[in-house]
């Protein structure tokens, strides 16, 4: 079977596990379909002669030991869970690609010098329980760290009230032992993922070599003015919160455009009160999502935006409340790994660019611990987290080929 | 009893009829409390020696026949219905003031030269059934006209499914006879109402003499762009509908401010889709409410706004759909009546201004048929259609005094 047919077949097989009758795929952490998918991947790994095991929380590993440097491991994979009504590629393509790339390498070149290993991570999306990166954080020993402590998930439950801990136990898993050492053998982690954006498609490129995962800050603001009758309140007597919001949104986005790529700034949620045609809005709640690959630039831009928002609110006779509730720092990928991958991609003759990721990925959790880089394949129309999520099969196959070439450089070369 | 005490007592008595346990007053057309209020007013009129009758649909009249010109009638009043959880002044203050002013005039000066009449109109608010101005439109013979034809209300029902016609019949009323002639004897109609705005309060004035009811146009627009991932979509690839809305709102309001009073323009409702922090909004539905006392200025401003909205949408790579669903023309009050009223107000020594109404009133239905003008008293904080609706009792009393003085000029002077 050609690599193209193998890729299509494995994505198809995985997509049948957790197909949602209401659309797309819903395969959430510690559900039966989630377990079934992990067991399917385990079977593929075993069929290819890899030694498999699950860690405490349910991350799956498959290992091909190296001949010369068995204690130096080159790792690849992604997450097996999906969002609710998600697509067939987000996460599982990275798992399937790692399985297939290592299968191809083993069949073509035999045993590597360094160990090659696949990881199928338990959870990344945060779609069932109010916790994210459960797989990668356990892998790197951060599940005892402040934001995903075992204590933090002790009392959480899913949207139907089923406790996290009970569901974890039901599938045969448990908390990671806090005394367990973090692995020292991982010399490289390479994750391949769909872009979930339209840059590669628009620029007609097949491969993105990711050198940075953008930092992101998310705010909620509440502008307060005074609700008034839209007919009886002259313009000069108004404290119109929507007019103030409009001024803020236009001013901040104009500043963002002037600063240029890779800065992005989005006012995604806007909720005026009372939200009625004939009442001057007395209040607007709105969010601002801002991302950049350089933490200093991100901070200086958001500092400027915060000042502008306060000044404009004041000029409109409005008060403003600010809540910065997410502040994730940019995560640069490992320069050395990026260089090796770029060399492999270039040698493959495929069109590519070095780019950043505007979305979050397991790689941002792993990168601070092990040398990490990512590969992207295009997303048709940039669509993701949606049943319409798709990538041309030739692009998926190119992704597997390039991943194999990169792993070859990392595991088979001195 | 002083006029102040009488005013407070009548407002209190009326406010007990239809007091809503969930707040404020709810006294809707053809409900039992509505009928009770009309019968209370009828009793007050009869106690003051006025001859009363209801018309077909339930408008109540009380008449004091003139000695010299009995066929020339000076009419005053307002509507008896309220909004849901409304205040204690909108509508019923104008009814109470007319009753008390005519009582005062009769007691002080005896029989007038011209007939004096009170009207307590059945309905203005449109709060129970999807029809408005049912009282005034029947009074002026417009209930057979295009927008409130008897046919139009044949099939309507309230929010609990009770048919309009059944409820009308239940209270003993029926459609106006289409052949009934419109009255020829009305020489003046004067309505006193709370301002429902804060102009008088801010300018520390007790009385507004209304010379115009502003025209108003209401639009709904839908801007369509493309929903995209807020992290993976560079600014240059976006079609951000909220950014487009912000540009439109700021630009149009800035133009409105430049044009100046009495233009008002309001973007009261804003509904982005999907309205989520991390998605570039693909769509925004928003409303525009625009009012002015000069129909030509209103039309030229909205024409400019429409053009700006289309241009800005195009510049942002958005499409725009427009729905102009309300276009009420300005209604000038009768110059002669305004002059007579202003003279009476001036003679009373009270602080006043000649002003327009930004809100709609029964007077806008009556003015095209009979010489009409309005008086305003201040609203505390401009609040109306709310249980907190209030006016200082001294201002209410001043309103009754000024209405009496105006009616004196119109009914007792040659």
Q: Tens digit of pLDDT for each residue in B239-259?
A: 999 999 999 999 999 999 999
- Give me the pLDDT at residue B203, please: 97
Smallest Cα distance from B383 to chain A, Å = 8
Residue B151, pLDDT score: 63
Q: Identify the pLDDT of residue A178.
A: 80
Name the minimum distance, in Å, from the CA of B188 to any CA of chain A: 25
Q: Across residues A172-186, what is the average pLDDT?
A: 91
Residue numbers in A near B291 (CB within 8 A): 230-231
Question: What is the per-residue pLDDT across A128-155, written as a single tens digit (0 to 9) for each?
Answer: 998 889 999 999 998 754 445 556 788 8
Could you identify the residue written with the tokens 């990166």? A133
Of A216, A229, A284, the CB nearest to B382: A229
Do A48 and A90 touch, CB atoms closer than 8 A? no
Whether B208 has its CB under 8 Å from any CB of chain A: the answer is no
Of A234, A250, A384, the CB nearest to B264: A234
B221-328 under CATH 3.30.70.360, yes or no: yes
Residues 6+ apart with CB under 8 A from B71: B115, B185
What is the CATH architecture assignment of A3-214+330-412?
A: 3-Layer(aba) Sandwich (3.40)
* Pick from B228, B247, B253: CB nearest A243: B253
Residue-level pLDDT at A147:
47
pLDDT over 70 at A79, yes or no: yes
Residues of chain B with Cβ-Cβ distance to A262 below 8 Å are 234
* 8 A C-beta contact, residue A217 and residue A327: yes
Q: Give this complex's ipTM.
A: 0.89
CB contact under 8 A, B271 and A275: yes
Tokens of B289: 């409410």
Model pLDDT for residues B127-142, shown as the tens digit of each residue? 999 888 999 999 999 8
pLDDT at B177: 84
pLDDT of residue A150: 58
Residue B231 touches partner A, C-beta closer than 8 Å:
yes
Q: Is B275 annotated as a binding residue?
A: no
Please write the tens of the pLDDT for every residue from A306-358.
Answer: 999 999 999 999 999 999 999 999 999 999 999 999 999 999 999 999 999 99
Q: Is A256 helix (H, G, I), strand (E, B) or coil?
A: helix
Report domain extents, chain B.
3-214+330-412, 221-328
From residue A62, alpha-carbon distances to A45, A54, A95, B268 in Å are 6, 9, 11, 58
Q: How far is CA B68 from CA A119, B62, B114, B189, B410, in A?
A: 103, 19, 6, 19, 13
Q: Is B316 one of the annotated binding-site residues?
A: no
Mean pLDDT value of segment A158-181: 92
CA A123 to mean position of chain CA atoms = 11
| Cis peptide bond N-terminal to B175, omega within 30 | no
Report residue A282 as tokens: 């007395």
Domain B3-214+330-412 matches domain B221-328 at the CATH topology level: no
Q: How far is CA B9 from CA A25, B1, B186, B397, in A?
A: 68, 10, 30, 12
Q: Which residues of chain B have pLDDT under 70?
A: 144-151
Contact yes or no for B261 and A229 at CB 8 A: no
Residue A215 tokens read as 């930092």
User: Quick check: B285 contacting A, CB < 8 Å?
Assistant: no
CA dihedral A258, A260, A264, A269 (to 10 degrees): 20
CB contact under 8 A, A268 and B280: yes
Query: Which residues of A define the annotated binding site for Zn(2+)?
Result: 79, 90, 125, 193, 385
Block residue for tokens 């930004």: B358
Are the CB atoms for A215 and A293 separated by under 8 Å?
yes
Question: Do the Cβ atoms of A214 and B233 come within 8 Å?
Answer: no
Give the pTM.
0.89
Phi, psi (5° rounding) for residue A15? -75, -15
Q: How far apart are CA A345 and CA A205, in angstroms?
A: 12
Query: Do the Cβ atoms of A231 and B358 come within 8 Å?
Result: yes
CA closest to B194 among chain A residues: A232
Which A-chain residues 211-230 have CB contacts (< 8 A) with chain B?
214, 216, 218, 220, 228-230
B207 SS3 class: strand
Read off the pLDDT of residues A271-286 as tens digits, 9 standing for 90 and up.
999 999 999 999 999 9
Q: Do A277 and B218 touch (CB under 8 A)?
A: yes
The residues pairing with A353 across neighbouring beta strands, listed in sequence order, are A208
Q: How many CB pairs under 8 A join A and B?
A: 210
Look at residue A72 and give its three-state secondary structure.
Answer: strand
Give the closest residue to B10 by CA, choosing from B50, B43, B33. Answer: B43
Q: Mean per-residue pLDDT for A234-240?
A: 95
Number of H helices, E strands in chain B: 12, 16
Contacting residues of A for B256, CB less than 8 Å apart: 235
Question: What token pair was written down for B157?
Answer: 């029902």
pLDDT of residue B1: 80
Check A359 against B228: CB less than 8 A apart.
Answer: no
B contacts of A197 (beta carbons < 8 Å)? 228-229, 231-234
Q: Which of residues 50-109 of A touch B (CB under 8 A)?
A: none
C-alpha A63/C-alpha A49 separation (Å) is 9
Q: List all residues 6 or more positions away from B324 whose beta carbon is below 8 Å from its beta carbon.
A: B217, B218, B219
Q: Residues near A87 by Cβ (< 8 Å), separated by ≥ 6?
A: A24, A25, A383, A384, A385, A386, A387, A388, A389, A390
Exposure b/e, A61-97, CB count within 10 A at least 16 = b? bbbbbbeebeebbbbbbbbbbbbbebbbbbbbbbbbb
Is A232 in Cβ contact with B195 (below 8 Å)? Answer: yes
Is B413 exposed, middle or buried (CB count within 10 Å of its CB: 0-12, 13-18, 19+)? exposed
Question: In what helix (H) or strand (E) does residue A139 lie, and over which residues does it extend?
Answer: helix A134-139
Residue A37 in contact with residue A27, Cβ under 8 Å?
A: yes
Question: In the prediction, which pLDDT does A144 show?
Answer: 59
């Amino acid at each position: 079977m050609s690599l193209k047919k193998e890729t299509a077949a494995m994505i198809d097989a995985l997509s049948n596990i957790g197909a949602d009758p209401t659309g797309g795929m819903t395969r959430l952490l510690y559900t039966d379909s989630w377990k079934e998918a992990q067991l399917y991947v385990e079977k593929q790994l075993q069929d290819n002669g890899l030694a498999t095991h699950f860690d405490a929380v349910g991350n799956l590993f498959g290992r091909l030991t190296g001949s010369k440097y068995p204690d130096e491991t080159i790792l690849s994979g992604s997450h097996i869970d999906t969002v609710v009504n998600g697509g067939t590629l987000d996460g599982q393509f990275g798992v399937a690609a790692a399985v297939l790339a290592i299968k191809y390498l083993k069949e073509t070149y035999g045993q590597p010098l360094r160990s090659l290993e696949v990881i199928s991570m338990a959870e990344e999306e945060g779609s069932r329980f109010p916790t994210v990166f459960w797989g990668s954080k356990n892998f790197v020993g951060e599940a005892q760290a402040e934001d995903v402590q075992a204590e933090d998930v002790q009392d959480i439950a899913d949207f139907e009230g089923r406790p996290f801990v009970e569901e974890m136990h039901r599938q045969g898993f448990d908390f990671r032992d806090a005394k367990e050492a973090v692995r020292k053998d991982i010399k490289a982690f390479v994750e391949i993922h769909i872009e979930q954006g339209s840059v590669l498609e628009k620029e007609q490129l097949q491969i993105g070599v990711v050198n940075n995962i953008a930092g992101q800050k998310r705010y909620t603001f509440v502008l307060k003015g005074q609700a008034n009758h839209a007919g009886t309140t002259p313009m000069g007597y108004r404290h119109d919160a929507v007019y103030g919001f409009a001024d803020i949104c236009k001013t901040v986005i104009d500043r963002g455009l002037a600063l240029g790529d890779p800065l992005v700034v989005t006012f995604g949620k806007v909720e005026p009160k009372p939200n009625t045609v004939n009442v001057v809005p007395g209040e607007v709640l709105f969010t601002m999502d801002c991302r950049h690959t350089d933490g200093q630039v991100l901070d200086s831009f958001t500092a400027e935006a915060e000042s502008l928002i306060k000044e404009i609110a004041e000029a409109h006779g409005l008060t403003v409340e600010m809540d910065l509730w997410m502040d994730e720092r940019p995560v640069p990928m490992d320069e050395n790994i990026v260089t090796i991958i770029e060399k492999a991609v270039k040698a493959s003759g495929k069109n590519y660019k070095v780019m950043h990721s505007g979305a979050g990925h397991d790689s941002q959790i792993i990168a601070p611990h092990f040398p990490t880089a990512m590969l992207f394949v295009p997303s048709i129309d940039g669509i993701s987290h949606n049943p319409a999520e798709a990538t041309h099969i030739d692009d998926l196959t190119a992704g597997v080929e390039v991943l194999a070439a990169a792993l070859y450089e990392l595991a088979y070369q001195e």
